[in-house]
Every structure is written in C-alpha cells, then in structure tokens.
Structure 1
Amino acid sequence: MNQPVDQIVRRKLSDEVFDRLERMITSGELKPGDDMPSERVLMERFGVGRPAIREAMQALANMGLVNISHGERAKVLQLTAKSIFRQVDLTAKIMLSQSSDTLEHLKSSRIFFERGMAREAALRIEPQDIADLGAIIERQRQSLGQAEEFISADMRFHSRIAQISGNPIFVAVSEAMLAWLKAYHTDMLIWTGKEKFTLVEHEEILDRLAAKDADGAEAAVLKHLERSRALYTR
C-alpha cells in the first residue's frame, strides 16, 4: 500500500522547543547580549523536560544563535556576516576536499568577485586605504621565506581591498573564500620564488587603485589571480 504523500510526521519535543526559542530571538523578545532564560524557567514555560530544552539549546548554539559556556547562562549572540560564514567553514572545507570541480568553481568565483572588488575600490579609495595596503605589502616583503606569515599578509591584502567598499558582507565573503582556499595553498609558493611575483603584482594592483583606474585595477587583479590560481591544488 502506498504511503500518503502528505503524511503528517510527529515532531520531536526538542524541535518544538527550538522553534519557540528561535521565535523569541527573531521577534526581539531576546536581543544580542541577553542571557537566555534558565532551563528551569523554560521547562515550566513550555511544559517539557530538561533533555528537550538542552537539545534545542544545543541546536541554537550549532547555528551560531547562542553561546553556551559551562556553568553560565547561555547568551544570545550578535549575528554578523562573518559569524554566519564561520558556521559553515568546516563543512565548506570538507566539500572542497571531496571534489576537484568544486575547488575549481571556488577559484573562478573568487576571480569574478575580486575583479568587482578592484573596480569598486578604485572608485572609493582614500589616502588611508592606500597607506594600509602599502603597509601590508611591506609586511609581506619582510615575511619572504616564512610561509605562514607571508600567506597571512597575502590574505589581508585582498580582504583590505574588499573593506574599501564599506560593505561588511563583501569583507565576510572575501575572508571566507580566502580561508577555504588557504588549505590548498601549496608550499611551492615559497620554495619556487613565486612569492616575489606576488609582491610585484600586489604593487601593480595598488598603483592602479591609487590612480583610481578601475579598468587597470581589474586587469591587474585578473593577471595576478590567473597566475596564482595554479597554487591551489587538491
């Protein structure tokens, strides 16, 4: 006998509790920084046992909506673009490790994104932005031969360009893609001298940005990323 298509499935108590707690947060009843009600208060309010409360609270924590500290009341977190991407960081890296196609798609997406960021930055750049980017390049130069420090400065250079937009979502997207790609940044960057190409190309990008040349900045970024994309391998 065929199962009814619209069969109603009974939900777990913890799922119902989760929905109630989520509504308390999204409705503004509980705001970022507020302590969540105690387990005892929630048990009485919803008429459920402690296990359902704890399971629902853990689900909220897994989504980044609350922070649970041992011995303290759970606290409602302020959601930001960065915190949202941080929640998917591990699963994104696992997904990338399982598929070379997905890694190639990420590389292409990053190039598409950074070309746009370069154009936006060229239109908005201020003297302080130019000074900050120049300082990052100098930090990279001082880090030649030190893989971790050099790559960290490399990532900072690109995320700082995204910051010029004034859009925190752009910054979060930039930092997330760079963090996911970092796992595939091979040691060949250091041992073959390619880091010197990176410095020259970063200087070219900064020159075009400082000149407020959107076309030139985009072309410099495209040249840089098309060369460096080979450094990211499975």
Structure 2
Amino acid sequence: MQVERRKVADQILEFLIEMMRTGELQTNTVLPTENELAARFGVSRAPIREALKVLEVAGAIESRQGGRSLVKEVSLAELLDPVRFQLINKQQVLDLLEFRIIIETEAAALAAERRTEEELVEIQRLVDHFQQLMGDNQAIGYEEDFQFHQFIMKASKNNFIAETISNLSDLHLRALKYSLSKNLGWDKKREEVAKEHMIIAQAIASQDSEGARKAMREHLMNARNKILTLPEEE
C-alpha cells in the first residue's frame, strides 16, 4: 500500500484507525514493527513513529518492551475525530512559539507587577506539581505546562492577553504535546524546563517585572531553539 507524500503522518494515522475499525488490527493484538509498517506504506519510519505516538497518547495503543505496541480496547467512534487533531507540524510549533515570545514575555512582566498573594500561591503550586511530574519518565506534562502559562496570562490582569491566548488553547496544547514529548527519556532537558518554570515564578513572587520578562523569554527561546534542532519530518 502506497500513500501520498503530502501529510504522510496524517494519512498513516487514518489508515491505522481504519484498520482498527475493520478488525484488521484487533484488540489485544501486537502491531507490526515500525519497519514493517514503513515497508507496508512505502514511507520512512519518521511518520510511522509520529502516527503511533498520537495513537498512544490517545490511549488506542500501548507501548511494550522490544519496541512493539499492543492494540487496546477503545471506542474508535469517539477516538476518530479528536485524534485527527493531535498531529501538529514543526513549523506550526515554531510560529506559535514566536507569537508566544512576543505576548508572554510582556504578560509575565505584568503578572509580576499585578499578581495577588492568592495567585502567587497557585503559581507556586503549579510549579511544584510540574517539577514533581518531571520526575516521572513516562509523563509528558503538557497539560500541566499549559496550566502554568495560562495562569500567568490570567495574573497579568489584561483581558485581551488572557482571551487571545485562551482562543489558541487547542493549538497551544497540541504544540506543547509535540514539544514536551521530545523530552521523554531526556532527564536533563526535563529538569531544565522545570527549573525555568521555577525561575519565572520566583521573579513574579519578587515582583521583579524585568526578571520575569527575561526569564519567560529565555524559557520560550530555549523551547524554540530545541524545536529548530529537530530533524525535518516527512
């Protein structure tokens, strides 16, 4: 079976979902290897890995030792529509990060000036929770990262900032999932991200607007630079 080169991972994902629908890939059976799937679809392993990652995050498959995956019991009727929107490409992530650098650096500075004591307690709770989560090598932590950044936007007390970022929440979540999933198995990078959150929170706690601005910019620039170094996906 051959597929078009355009949006390869998307097409692979839809083929795999259809194979589960028809019973060609049955519940509690082991998926073919990445190499076998790549040969079957006539593509490299990169889009195969991306499609499998989406299915794993969605709970449709479960990774096993030896690089094989097991098909899990899941309602494909409920899975099909949401899972199509899990994929995001590298350029979209870079564009969003560029936008976030412009908006969130200033929002962090405003949050340092305007945050309440109650908000500070919640920001610290989010930082502590994310740091704890980064100790779990299997956790991506994208939802917790999202909550941290969203709350800082709220603490800026600027409704336009908060609403604009909120309107991008779906894309933001998918971009975080894409970015943070690249840190799985990379303990040093995971620790760095958690530390960057802590530095931002400390600046906000000290009402150091310039420090918060600088810390947020460095945090987002580090994320952008990491994405830039990733190989191009097919």
Please classify the TM superposition score into its range, dividing by the shorter chain length. Answer: 0.5 to 0.7
Q: After TM superposition, give the deviation of residue 120 of structure 1 in Å.
A: 1.6
Q: After TM superposition, give the deviation of residue 119 of structure 1 in Å.
A: 1.5
1:160 and 2:115 equivalent? Answer: no
Amino acid at match of 1:141: Q
Q: After TM superposition, give the deviation of residue 132 of structure 1 in Å.
A: 0.3
Residue ranges of structure 2 left out of the alignment (5+ in a row):
1-81
| Structure 1 counterpart of 2:196, from 187, 192, 201 | 201
> Over the residues paired in the alignment, what is the CA RMSD in angstroms?
2.8
How many equivalent residue pairs? 143
| Structure 1 counterpart of 2:181, from 173, 179, 187 | 187
Residue matched to 2:207: 212
Rounded to whole Å, the distance in 2 between the matches of 1:103 and 1:187 is: 13
| Structure 2 counterpart of 1:120, from 105, 110, 123 | 110
Residue ranges of structure 1 left out of the alignment (5+ in a row):
1-88
Rounded to whole Å, the distance in 2 between the matches of 1:191 and 1:175 is: 26
2:178 partner SS: coil
Q: After TM superposition, give the deviation of residue 185 of structure 1 in Å.
A: 2.0
1:145 partner SS: coil
Residue matched to 1:175: 169
1:169 partner SS: helix
Amino acid at match of 1:109: F
Percent identity between matched residues is 20
1:190 partner SS: coil
Q: After TM superposition, give the deviation of residue 90 of structure 1 in Å.
A: 9.3
Q: After TM superposition, give the deviation of residue 198 of structure 1 in Å.
A: 1.3
Alpha-carbon contact 1:118-1:209 (below 8 Å) kept: yes
2:153 partner SS: helix
1:150 and 2:141 equivalent? Answer: yes
Q: After TM superposition, give the deviation of residue 184 of structure 1 in Å.
A: 1.9
Rounded to whole Å, the distance in 1 between the matches of 2:167 and 2:156 is: 12
Alpha-carbon contact 2:112-2:204 (below 8 Å) kept: yes
Closer, same or farther: CA 218–90 of 1 in aligned 2, 3 Å: farther
Residue matched to 2:12: none
Rounded to whole Å, the distance in 2 between the matches of 1:230 and 1:213 is: 25
Amino acid at match of 1:222: R
1:185 partner SS: helix
Alpha-carbon contact 2:141-2:180 (below 8 Å) kept: no
Rounded to whole Å, the distance in 2 between the matches of 1:127 and 1:170 is: 25
Q: After TM superposition, give the deviation of residue 141 of structure 1 in Å.
A: 2.3
